[in-house]
Amino acid sequence: MTSVHSTLDSRHLMTLTLAVDFAATLGIGAMAQGRRRIAPITGGQFSGNRLAGSVLPGGADWVIYRPDGAMAIDVRITLKTDDDALIYCTYQGLFKAEAEPMTRFMRGEMLGEDEYRIRTIVKFETGAPKYQWLNDTLAIGLGQQTATGPIYRIHEVL
């Protein structure tokens, strides 16, 4: 009989800080799934033991404010390492808060860290030989809201 591990082993892969131009967010409108908005990502940085660099402008977060009050996150960005390798990074997840804090968040207010939860699944693609290991990496992100964009502590699932 084989055993199933009861814990999830992971290690810190990187901390990702995004700069978002909230003023340029586009409102697509109400759909069956909720209200779609597109928030442009103008840059940022990432750092960890095995990779570091900057976030190139041009990415975005295609969010949906769902009828149940959660915000579905769908981000696609390009990372450029300090040694000039390009990495496509995508993550999906949820921003969840109770109704009253979510209303304040949607007005652009900062929430206390105990008022919300951001969790994501992160994937990578690259042709850079040094970073090929990322193509098979599945990671999870734990997010934090800031006035200029989110910060994620991203952990590689082992």
What's residue 7's pLDDT?
Answer: 81
> Cα separation of 43 and 78, whole Å?
9
Q: Residue 47 in contact with residue 40, Cβ under 8 Å?
A: no
Q: Of 93, 84, 88, which Cα lies nearest the Cα of 63?
A: 93
Does the reported pTM lie above 0.85? yes
Mean pLDDT (whole number) for 63-77 = 95
Structural domains of the chain, ranges and CATH numbers in brackets: 10-153 (2.40.160.20)
Mean pLDDT (whole number) for 41-58 = 98
pLDDT in tens, 3-18: 666 788 999 999 999 9
